[in-house]
């Protein structure tokens, strides 16, 4: 059996939400059992730890302290599937390269760029970028529900943020603060209580003090609302835009690549999809495929694709006039 010290340390690390320490102690226990000749128990312990490491959110779930604010996600996107202007792609590649070679940088007292602000209209690839970084670097990917921290924990938002940053420092990964304007909005436009000002101040302090290796990525649709003091806390700010003709066509080529078409997609005029986001174009392509499959046709027609793009435009317009 494990020693009393090991059991105590294991329980403590669980309540401290210290997943890394938890795994280390569990592995020590496995080594201890192996020494005593309990080979199969040692093996079982090791495989439980290895499996658990792949879905670390379980550690949060059990204590339930942050499970409604931090979601663990499978990073499903790769760099090859995101379409971006060349300069943005280069910037993302640089983020990846600095991480790969972070030890080299550390020797010169430098750290890899890992606090990143993403700005741009909805559906242009901000969330996808966070998932690409996690996917390419094989890191755990977490989404933080920023607006929920503020609305659900009004009055104790700063305390929740502290717990989140604690978690970030102990669990290496990519952390996306989605809907970041919920805490990043300018301090001037405050309510009487001053809660939001305190929250933003705490965030500024936490992000500045964070010395982990984790990526802290904040995404906003509304960069103009953000407090100026935020900008210098980030290592990089990336601006996303709606696709131009070429980017829109490339996205459609990708989305429809496994289907035969009765027309030349590369000749589709820009007016058919101008103003739509990547996300809306991707959805229109999925709709066109569904329609084709459901009506037992073998090939996608120009008409079906155009009508699905038009539907997306209608949704977009009605949304805008709400």
Q: Which residues bind ligand ADP (CB under 6 A)?
A: 82-84, 122-128, 219, 240, 251, 278-279, 282
Residue 230, binding choice from ligand ADP, Mg ion, none, Cβ under 5 to 8 Å by partner class: none
Question: Where do contacts with Mg ion occur on this chain (CB under 5 A)?
Answer: 126-127
- Collapsed DSSP state (helix, strand, coil) of residue 174: strand
* 52 vs 121, beta carbon nearer ligand ADP: 121
CB atoms within 10 A of CB 312: 21
**Tokens linked to 113:** 């760029």
> 151, 171, 131: which is closest to 17 by C-alpha?
171
Residue 273, binding choice from ligand ADP, Mg ion, none, Cβ under 5 to 8 Å by partner class: none
> 240, 254, 255, 252: which is closest to 128 by C-alpha?
240
> 322, 110, 95: which is closest to 216 by C-alpha?
95
Q: How far is the CB of 161 from Mg ion (least distance, A)?
A: 20
Residue 173, binding choice from Mg ion, ligand ADP, none, Cβ under 5 to 8 Å by partner class: none
Q: How far is the CB of 242 from ligand ADP (least distance, A)?
A: 10
Residue 234, binding choice from ligand ADP, Mg ion, none, Cβ under 5 to 8 Å by partner class: none
- Collapsed DSSP state (helix, strand, coil) of residue 178: strand
Q: How far is the CB of 111 from Mg ion (least distance, A)?
A: 26
* 69 vs 285, beta carbon nearer ligand ADP: 285
* 75 vs 202, beta carbon nearer ligand ADP: 75
**Beta-bridge partners for 73:** 141
Q: How far is the CB of 251 from ligand ADP (least distance, A)?
A: 5
* 2 vs 82, beta carbon nearer ligand ADP: 82
Degrees, nearest 5: CA angle 134-115-145: 70
Q: In what order do the strands lie in the sheet with 215-220?
A: 70-73, 141-145, 174-178, 215-220, 115-119, 236-239
* 18 vs 181, beta carbon nearer ligand ADP: 181
Q: How far is the CB of 243 from ligand ADP (least distance, A)?
A: 7
Q: Are 279 and 315 in contact (CB under 8 A)?
A: no
Q: How far is the CB of 131 from ligand ADP (least distance, A)?
A: 8
Q: How far is the CB of 312 from ligand ADP (least distance, A)?
A: 12
**Beta-bridge partners for 119:** 220, 239
- Please state, in angstroms and rounded to a whole number, the distance separating the CA atoms of residues 132 and 138: 10
- Collapsed DSSP state (helix, strand, coil) of residue 5: helix
Give the position of tokens 């890899």: 112
Q: How many CA atoms lie within 13 A of 204 on its CB side?
A: 17
* 30 vs 182, beta carbon nearer ligand ADP: 182
* 24 vs 247, beta carbon nearer ligand ADP: 247
């Amino acid at each position: 059996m494990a020693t009393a010290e090991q059991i105590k340390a294991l329980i403590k690390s669980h309540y401290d939400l210290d997943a890394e320490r938890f795994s280390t102690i569990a592995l020590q226990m496995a080594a201890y059992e192996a020494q005593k000749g309990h080979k199969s128990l040692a093996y079982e312990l090791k495989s439980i730890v290895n499996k658990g490491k792949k879905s670390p959110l379980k550690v949060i779930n059990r204590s339930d302290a942050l499970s409604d604010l931090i979601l663990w996600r499978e990073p499903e996107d790769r760099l090859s599937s995101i379409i971006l202007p060349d300069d943005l792609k280069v910037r993302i590649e640089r983020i990846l390269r600095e991480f790969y070679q972070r030890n080299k940088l550390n020797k010169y007292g430098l750290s890899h760029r890992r606090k990143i602000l993403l700005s741009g209209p909805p559906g242009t690839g901000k969330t996808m970028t966070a998932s690409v970084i996690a996917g390419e670097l094989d890191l755990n990917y977490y989404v933080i529900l920023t607006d929920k921290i503020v609305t659900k924990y009004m009055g104790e938002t700063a305390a929740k943020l502290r717990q989140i940053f604690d978690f970030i420092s102990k669990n290496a990964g990519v952390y996306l603060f989605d809907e970041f304007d919920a805490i990043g909005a300018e301090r001037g436009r405050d309510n009487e209580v001053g809660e939001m000002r305190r929250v933003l101040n705490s965030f500024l302090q936490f992000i500045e003090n964070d010395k982990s290796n984790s990526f802290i990525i904040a995404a906003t649709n509304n960069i103009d609302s953000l407090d100026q003091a935020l900008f210098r806390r980030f290592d990089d700010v990336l601006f996303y835009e709606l696709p131009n003709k070429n980017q829109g066509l490339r996205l459609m080529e990708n989305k429809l690549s496994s289907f035969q078409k009765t027309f030349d997609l590369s000749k589709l005029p820009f007016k058919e999809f101008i103003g739509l986001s990547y996300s809306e174009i991707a959805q229109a392509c999925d709709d066109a495929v569904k329609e084709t499959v459901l009506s037992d046709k073998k090939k996608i027609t120009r008409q079906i694709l155009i009508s699905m793009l038009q539907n997306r435009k209608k949704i977009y317009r009605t949304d805008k006039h709400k």
